[in-house]
């Protein structure tokens, strides 16, 4: 029997904003699972099974918002730790990752593009090979032997400046080899300019290649046409297929930007996995310069329901011993298993910086040419004062309402770019997704323990 969107909306609305995933206490969150009630302890992101009676007592204290009783019960259950994250921000962390806006221009006319068709609101530009090499110098200058660094190519469309991309890659390989540093490469591309020679090059250098695809056929073409409005999906797939067949060191993944117009996530996931992508991930469109395609509350509720549908398929396949590379799920399970806890959503402005075509440094690739997040230049130096001020201001303990949210050390307070431009419209979605992933984690830990042994190794 088909479930209507209305039914999904009703059930998920309760789930995401008022139901079991809603925020009640900043330090503990209850999760009912197939293996009974569990408590998620925010400090250290640990999940503990509770006896039914203990769970009920804790639940009542949470519903009554009796924080003293909650603290007392956690001590009684022996599941407290001294705080692992305090209010101190990171200060001048080592640089581990740099993304180059190697081409601030693009041949597609995506409806929602944060980079405004690649030009970030300015004119079309390409990074000179000279500037790209200086950026590589910056990345590797203080990298110690045995460490790992990442060089990412973004745009615009990075393959619009193949010369700069290849020069920077070869140079980084040469410097890293001499210094005993492990350098990894990644590229996010629209796929329209890929050639077999690019495939050989990416394979040789072990690139993580991410292709931006927003669905199968029309669903993609509605959002990501060429600038003249012509469809792009068929042309992209024709160029990507040889790379999919070639993957050895190279991994070719798909990234789907979800808007209210392409919510068939299960169909998209199945279609892209069948095509042979190494993994497939979804991100909601939360902030667009044109406002086009931004997700509203109702769309996020539908998205959550569809993400859970994808997650259920992942669970079933994993139990059946079949690889099912749904990236959001793989990442969430890995983080829950590792007890990931962090005071920031990502490395932006910390170990990671973005470089504009002109060689200016920004908190990340999405902030290119945005003076609010500028952090020096390749030709000059990293502006430590601005960077440290950013890190102090962006710490999750400085964010509202994040300080009181049980999801804060997994979420980190949300993408800085989206929060600064739009606020936090997706908290119900984020908490609903994490709540479901905790249920799935407990279920899969019991059903397929070997998966986590391999993931940990
Ligand atoms: S942004 Fe993340 S941490 Fe902040 S309130 Fe929303 S879900 Fe919680
Ligand atoms: S600020 Fe947002 S776009 Fe930039 S690296 Fe962080 S999560 Fe990604």
- Per-residue pLDDT of 162-220, as tens digits, reads 999 999 999 999 999 999 999 999 999 999 999 999 999 999 999 999 999 999 999 99
Residue of 344, 415, 423 to mutate, ligand 2, most atoms within 8 A of C-beta: 415
Q: What is the pLDDT of residues 134-155, one digit of tens each?
A: 999 999 999 999 999 999 999 8
Ligand number nearest CA of 397 is: 1
Ligand 2 contact, 416 CB (< 6 A): yes
Note whether residue 450 is domain-resident.
Answer: no
Q: How far is the CA of 309 from the centre of ligand 1 (A)?
A: 23
Residue of 96, 186, 284, 348 to mutate, ligand 2, most atoms within 8 A of C-beta: 348
Is a pLDDT exceeding 70 seen at residue 3?
A: no
Record the tokens describing residue 203, joined without a space.
């394979």
Note whether residue 404 is domain-resident.
Answer: no
> Closest Cα to atom 5, ligand 2: which residue?
348
Q: How far is the CA of 441 from the centre of ligand 2 (A)?
A: 26
Residue partners of 61: CB distance under 8 A and separation at least 6: 69, 70, 73
Note whether residue 74 is domain-resident.
Answer: yes
Q: Which residues of 318-355 are buried (b: 16+ CB within 10 A; e: fewer)?
A: beeeeebbbbbbbebbebbbeeebbbbbbbbbbbbbbb
Q: What is the pLDDT of residues 11-32, one digit of tens each?
A: 444 444 567 888 889 999 999 9
Record the tokens describing residue 451, joined without a space.
């998966």
Confidence of residue 123 (pLDDT cuts 50, 70, 90): confident
Q: How far is the CA of 80 from the centre of ligand 1 (A)?
A: 22
The DSSP annotation for 291-359 comes to -TT---HHHHHHHHHHHHHHHHHHHHHHHTT----BHHHHHHHHHHHHT---SSSS-BTTTEEEE-TTS
- Among the atoms of ligand 1, which is closest to the Cα of residue 411? 2
Task: Give the model's pLDDT for residue 124.
Answer: 86
Strands 46-49 and 125-126: unpaired
Q: How far is the CA of 415 from the centre of ligand 2 (A)?
A: 5
The DSSP annotation for 371-415 comes to GGGEEEESSS-B-HHHHHHHHHHHSGGGSTTGGG-TTHHHHTTS-
Note whether residue 396 is domain-resident.
Answer: no
Confidence of residue 455 (pLDDT cuts 50, 70, 90): low
Q: How far is the CA of 356 from the centre of ligand 2 (A)?
A: 15
Rg, the chain, Cα only: 22
Is a pLDDT exceeding 70 seen at residue 10?
A: no
Phi then psi for residue 119, to 5 deg, are: -100, 0
Note whether residue 67 is domain-resident.
Answer: yes
Q: pLDDT above 70 covers what percent of the chain? A: 94
Task: Give the model's pLDDT for residue 69.
Answer: 94
Task: Give the model's pLDDT for residue 118.
Answer: 64
Residue of 16, 430, 437 to mutate, ligand 1, most atoms within 8 A of C-beta: 430
Note whether residue 322 is domain-resident.
Answer: no
Task: Give the model's pLDDT for residue 80.
Answer: 75
Is a pLDDT exceeding 60 seen at residue 7?
A: no
Residue of 395, 400, 411, 434 to mutate, ligand 1, most atoms within 8 A of C-beta: 411
Q: How far is the CA of 343 from the centre of ligand 2 (A)?
A: 14
3-class DSSP state of 375:
strand
Asked if residue 301 lies in contact with residue 12, where contact means CB atoms within 8 angstroms, the answer is: yes
Q: What is the pLDDT of residues 79-120, one digit of tens each?
A: 876 888 889 999 999 999 999 999 998 889 888 886 666 667
Rounded distance between C-alpha atoms, residue 256 and residue 262, angstroms: 9
Average pLDDT, the chain: 93
> Closest Cα to atom 1, ligand 1: which residue?
413
Task: Give the model's pLDDT for residue 457.
Answer: 46
Note whether residue 274 is domain-resident.
Answer: no
Q: Averaged over 383-403, what is the pLDDT?
A: 97
Q: Which residue has the higher pLDDT, 338 or 17?
A: 338
> Closest Cα to atom 7, ligand 1: which residue?
427
Note whether residue 50 is domain-resident.
Answer: yes
Pocket of ligand 1 (CB under 6 A): 399, 401-402, 405, 407-408, 411, 413-414, 424, 427, 430-431
Residue partners of 238: CB distance under 8 A and separation at least 6: none
Q: How far is the CA of 9 from the centre of ligand 1 (A)?
A: 21
Q: What is the total count of domains within the chain?
A: 1
Task: Give the model's pLDDT for residue 1.
Answer: 35
Confidence of residue 260 (pLDDT cuts 50, 70, 90): very high
Ligand number nearest CA of 345 is: 2
Q: What is the pLDDT of residues 270-313, one digit of tens each?
A: 999 999 999 999 999 999 888 889 999 999 999 999 999 999 99
Q: How far is the CA of 401 from the centre of ligand 1 (A)?
A: 7
Confidence of residue 393 (pLDDT cuts 50, 70, 90): very high
Residue of 354, 355, 366 to mutate, ligand 2, most atoms within 8 A of C-beta: 366
Record the tokens describing residue 405, joined without a space.
């949210």
Task: Give the model's pLDDT for residue 83.
Answer: 86
Is a pLDDT exceeding 50 seen at residue 49?
A: yes
Q: How far is the CA of 449 from the centre of ligand 2 (A)?
A: 32
Q: Tell me the residue range of the domain where 31 lies.
A: 27-84
Ligand number nearest CA of 433 is: 1
Ligand number nearest CA of 367 is: 2
Phi then psi for residue 125, to 5 deg, are: -145, 155
Q: Averaged over 378-401, what is the pLDDT?
A: 96
């Amino acid at each position: 029997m088909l479930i209507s969107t209305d039914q999904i909306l009703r059930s998920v609305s309760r789930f995401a904003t008022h139901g079991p995933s809603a925020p009640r206490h900043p330090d503990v969150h209850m999760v009912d699972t197939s293996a009974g009630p569990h408590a998620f302890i925010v400090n250290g992101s640990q999940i503990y099974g509770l006896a039914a009676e203990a769970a009920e007592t804790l639940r009542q204290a949470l519903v009554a918002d009796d924080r003293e009783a909650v603290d007392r019960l956690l001590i009684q259950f022996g599941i407290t730790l001294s705080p692992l994250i305090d209010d101190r921000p990171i200060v001048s962390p080592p640089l581990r990752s740099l993304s180059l806006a190697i081409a601030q221009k693009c041949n597609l006319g995506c409806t929602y593009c944060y980079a405004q068709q690649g030009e970030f609101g300015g004119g079309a530009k390409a990074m000179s090979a000279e500037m790209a090499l200086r950026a590589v110098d910056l990345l590797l200058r203080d990298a110690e032997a045995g460490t790992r660094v990442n060089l990412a190519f973004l745009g615009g469309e990075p393959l619009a400046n193949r010369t700069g991309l290849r020069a920077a890659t070869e140079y980084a390989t040469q410097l890293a080899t001499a210094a005993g540093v492990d350098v990894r490469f990644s590229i996010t591309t629209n796929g329209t300019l890929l050639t077999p020679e690019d495939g050989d090059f990416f394979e040789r250098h072990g690139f993580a290649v991410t292709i931006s695809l927003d669905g199968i056929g029309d669903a993609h073409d509605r959002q990501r046409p060429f600038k003249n409005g012509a469809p792009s999906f068929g042309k992209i797939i024709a160029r990507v297929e040889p790379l999919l067949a070639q993957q050895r060191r190279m991994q070719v993944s798909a990234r789907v930007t979800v808007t209210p117009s392409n919510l068939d996530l299960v169909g998209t996931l199945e279609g892209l996995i069948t095509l042979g992508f190494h993994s497939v991930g979804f991100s909601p469109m939360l902030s667009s310069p044109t406002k086009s395609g931004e997700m509203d509350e109702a769309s996020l509720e539908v998205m959550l329901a569809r993400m859970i549908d994808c997650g259920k398929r992942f669970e079933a396949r994993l139990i059946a011993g079949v690889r099912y590379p749904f990236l959001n799920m793989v990442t969430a399970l890995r983080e829950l298993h590792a007890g990931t806890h962090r005071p920031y959503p990502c490395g932006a402005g910390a170990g990671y910086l973005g470089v504009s075509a002109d060689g200016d440094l920004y908190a990340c690739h999405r902030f290119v040419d945005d003076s609010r997040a500028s952090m020096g230049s390749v030709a000059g130096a990293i502006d430590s004062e601005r960077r440290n001020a950013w890190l102090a201001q962006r710490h999750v303990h400085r964010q509202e309402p994040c300080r009181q949210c049980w999801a804060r050390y997994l979420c980190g307070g949300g993408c800085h770019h989206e929060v600064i431009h739009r606020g936090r419209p997706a908290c119900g979605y984020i908490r609903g997704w994490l709540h479901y992933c905790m249920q799935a984690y407990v279920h899969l830990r019991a059903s397929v323990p070997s998966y986590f042994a391999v993931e940990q190794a």
